[in-house]
Amino acid sequence: MQYQAPERDAQFLLFEVFRVQDLWPEIEAFADLSEDLVRAVVAEGGRIATEVVTPSNQPGDEQACTWDDGEVATPDAYKLPFAEITGGGWLGLAGNVNFGGQGMPKMLACIVEEMLWAANTSLYLYGTLTIGSSLCIETHGTKRQQETYLPKMYAGQWTGAMALTESHAGTDLGIMRTKAEPQADGSYRISGTKVFITGGEHDLAENIIHFTWCWLNYPARQVVPRAYRCSSFQNSYLTKTAVWVRATVGPAVP
């Protein structure tokens, strides 16, 4: 399958339709962005998408992910393009500059994202979940959490996974069962089972951060009145070597 990145259209939209050359100087964080740099980012994003990522699309579909006694392997063809995407700093394109991100506009990131999705949807899912969860830490995390997680996530050394859905509940958060119990050291003990977790386990990164929707003070009754609903959004820190986390991972859903 061939893919040509829609560079011309992107340049038209940025500079002729939305006139970012007038808009961005009004936003302090983007005041120094030169037109040449923006054009270069679009061109390089297009090059990575077409030349590096696209060739992994069909082979990845054919080989698919495999599960072998708890070890999840992504397709062989994914290793190189994922390393190029992460090594090139593409996951931190719109990330916070104080933690290793590049601080580029979301508008520009939208263009690159479309290209990477087109080039290989399955592969880019590992990226987009990492970007989304980085934003969550950037917005809601403590300074220590930001320092711990963001540089590694922008660099794709660690990836993110978003764990909400349980087998009996997807849309209805109120009937979720996974719970978090506070521990004396300030951490929480998590119990429960989540399903359909994209990128929940894989071999592309050294660590996976699971953003997990849990109940704090799990209600005695499954369905409780709204006033008693207590929910908390946790990230459980899973490493493959540490013994204090036990997470078992099922085979990929076909």
Partner 1 sequence: MGIRGSATSVINYDQSTGFLLGEENRGLAAMFTMMNYARLSVGLQGLGSGELAYQQAARYAKDRLQGRSPTGAQNPDAAADSLLVHPDVRRMLLTQRAYNEGGRAFGLFVGMQLDLAKYNGDQSAQDLAELLTPVAKAYLSDKGFEGAVMAQQVFGGHGYIREWGIEQIVRDTRISQIYEGTNGVQALDLVGRKVLRDGGATVRKLVDQMAQTRVAQVHQIEFNEALDRLIRVTASVVGRAKDEPNLPGAVSTDYLELMGLTLYAWLWARMAELAPQDEFGEAKRTTAMFFYQRLLPKTHGLERSIAASAQALMDFPDDLF
By CB under 8 A, the residues from 29 to 58 that bind partner 1 are 29-30, 57-58
Binding to partner 1 (CB under 8 A) within 101-130 occurs at: 105-107, 109-111, 113-126, 128-129
Closer by beta carbon to partner 1, 4 or else 98: 4
Point out which span in 37-45, 83-91, 155-163, 219-227 binds partner 1 (CB under 8 A).
155-163
Each as own residue / partner, the long-range contacts of residues 164-170 (CB below 8 Å, 24 or more positions apart, any chain) are 164/194, 164/213, 165/194, 165/195, 165/196, 165/197, 166/192, 166/193, 166/194, 166/195, 167/193, 167/195, 170/196
* Count of residues of this chain found to bind partner 1 when the rule CB under 8 A is applied: 114
Binding to partner 1 (CB under 8 A) within 220-249 occurs at: 230-238, 244-249
Asked if residue 14 binds partner 1 (CB under 8 A), the reply is yes
The DSSP line for 34-48 is -HHHHHHHHHHHHHI
Binding to partner 1 (CB under 8 A) within 60-99 occurs at: 60-61, 63-65, 72, 74-75, 78
Residue position matching structure tokens 């050394």: 157
Per CB under 8 A, the list member of 40, 196, 206, 240 interacting with partner 1 is 196
How far is C-alpha 69 from the geometric centre of its chain's CA atoms? Answer: 26
- Which amino acid, 154? Y
C-beta of 185: minimal distance to partner 1 in Å? Answer: 9
Residues with Cβ within 8 Å of residue 137, at least 6 apart in sequence? 145, 146, 149, 150, 153, 235
Asked if residue 250 binds partner 1 (CB under 8 A), the reply is yes
| C-alpha–C-alpha distance, residues 76 and 242, integer Å | 26
- Which amino acid, 185? D
Per CB under 8 A, the list member of 187, 207, 219, 224 interacting with partner 1 is 187
C-beta of 130: minimal distance to partner 1 in Å? Answer: 11
C-beta of 143: minimal distance to partner 1 in Å? Answer: 13
C-beta of 155: minimal distance to partner 1 in Å? Answer: 19
Could you tell me which residues are beta bridge partners of residue 212? 163, 234
| C-alpha–C-alpha distance, residues 143 and 106, integer Å | 23
Count CB neighbours of 239 within 10 A.
14
C-beta of 123: minimal distance to partner 1 in Å? Answer: 6
Asked if residue 16 binds partner 1 (CB under 8 A), the reply is yes
Closer by beta carbon to partner 1, 155 or else 161: 161
